[in-house]
Each structure stands twice: as structure tokens, then as C-alpha cells.
Amino acid sequence: MLIDDAGRRLGLSSARLYVPDLQQVQLIALPYPAGQDTPALDIDDSVAGLAYRTQRIQRTRDGGTAWLPLIDGIERLGVMMVAAPDLDPHLLESCTALAGLTALLVASKATYSDLLVARERSRAMTIQAELLWSYLPPRAIGTDQVTSSTALEPAYDIGGDAFDHNLTENVLHLALLDAMGHDLASGGSSAAALAACRATRRDGGTLTDIATTIDRTLDLWIPGRLLTAVIANLDITSGWLTWINCGHPPPLLIRDDAVQD
């Protein structure tokens, strides 16, 4: 409602927000006005989805409707639909500013707004998945030099699968975790491992220190649970990747659409 009111003051006839579902298959409209439902839009087969995928403004053929991407850094948060009798360049520029402000609002509320979280879901989530999603960082981070993007499936029952990534000035840190089982204990194991990883990294620990701390933490608090992991640092300046494999399937290097030996 706030965004629609702001849009009307700019001269728009309407403005609507769409957020991606958890598996990034559809764009779901946030409910406005109350009680009015709007069909979801396919990300791979709609003008709105094209704006979301390319992070570029897309307009309908009649020129009266435009779709603006909502972006926080490099993370795609959704799209904003705007419509007006005369969507001229000046008005579209104002809409771009509104979309930037809207992205900041969505990003600030995404971690605790049940409205946003619920709209992203197409079915109920298991308790262990709920636990882990609350611990996970944004699915995409990056700069103009490097990008890290992730996905988890099955999204609503991820069990003990988890990831972490973090950027400092010259280093991209990566971690992939897979705890044994698909019960609440497996989610707790991965959550504890994420906490151990971050605490050690933020205290200046090496990859070896991180692996050791995770192992000791699980042994102390969740004994008898198996967890595999790949922990890595990518030096952005040199391109040198350092990694530790803790019983996990080895990572694949893909270049030019082919797996490298």
C-alpha cells in the first residue's frame, strides 16, 4: 500500500510488488488491496520474469506498463510493476528511484516479515528446514570481480544441507555442509557447524582452524552425528582457491560449459 500510494503521487495509475518464490520459479504478487489475489507469473516465461532475470527494465508493447527489477547489491529481490497513461522517460526515471528505495525496504524486512516469507512459499516447510533457512546468508553475494550464488533443493525439506559465503576486501569465503539424516538433529548439526565456522573465521582462524572447531563443536554438543563439508577461500586478486574437503564429494570446476579435469 505504501508503494502504491507513493506511485500515485508520482503520477502512476498503479504500482505492485512481486517477489520470487523460494525455488525461484514464479514471481508472487504481494497482496494489495486486502483480499485481492493476483496470479503468479512464470520467471522463465513472462515480461516480469525477464526483468527479474536480466536485472533490466522491461516494458510492454503498448508502453503503458513497465517492470523494474528490485536489487540489493547483486541479489535479486523481485520486481515492481508500474503503469501509467503516459509512462514517459521522466516518469520512468522517478519509478527507477522508487524501485531502489523499495528494494531497501524489502531487504530490511525480509528476515522478519511473515508477509514476505509466507508469500515466497508454495507449501509448508519442515521444522529442520525452517531452522536452517533462518541461519543461511543471502543466496547471492558479490562485487564486480566475483559472484557467489547458491540454491538448495529440496527447498522445503533440506534436512542437513547448508551453505555459507562471505566477502572481505580480497577474499571470498565459501562453505558447503551436509549433515547426516533429514531430522531436526541434522538441521541442528548444520546450524551449529555454521556458527562454529563463522565464529572461527571472524576471529581470524584459518580453514584448518574452522574444520577443527566444527569437529570439536559437534563432538561436544551433538555427538554421534556425521557431517561432511567443503570449506574454501578464494583470493579475488590472484584467483587462487584454497580448500579443505571434510569427507564431502569433491567440487567441480566448470569452465566454458564443460567440467574441467
pLDDT-based confidence at 224, cuts 50/70/90?
confident
**How high is the pLDDT of residue 38?**
82
Report whether pLDDT(205) > 90: yes
How far is Cα of residue 118 from the mean position of the Cα atoms in its chain? Answer: 15
State the DSSP H helix or E strand holding residue 3, giving kind and residue range, or none if neither. helix 2-10
Q: What is the CATH number of domain 2-119?
A: 3.30.450.40
User: How far is the CA of 232 from the CAs of 175, 204, 207, 251, in angstroms?
Assistant: 6, 14, 7, 10
Across 28-66, b (16+ Cβ under 10 Å) vs e yields bbbebeeeeeeebbebeebbbbbbbeeeebbbeeeeebb
Query: What is the percent of the chain where pLDDT is above 70?
Result: 97
Boundaries of every domain in the chain: 2-119, 127-259
**How high is the pLDDT of residue 35?**
52
pLDDT-based confidence at 65, cuts 50/70/90?
very high
* Full-model pTM: 0.85
**pLDDT by residue (tens digit) across 148-196?**
999 999 999 988 999 999 999 899 999 999 998 888 999 999 999 999 9
Query: What is the percent of the chain where pLDDT is above 90?
Result: 70
Report whether pLDDT(101) > 90: yes
pLDDT-based confidence at 61, cuts 50/70/90?
confident
CATH 3.60.40.10 fits 127-259, yes or no: yes
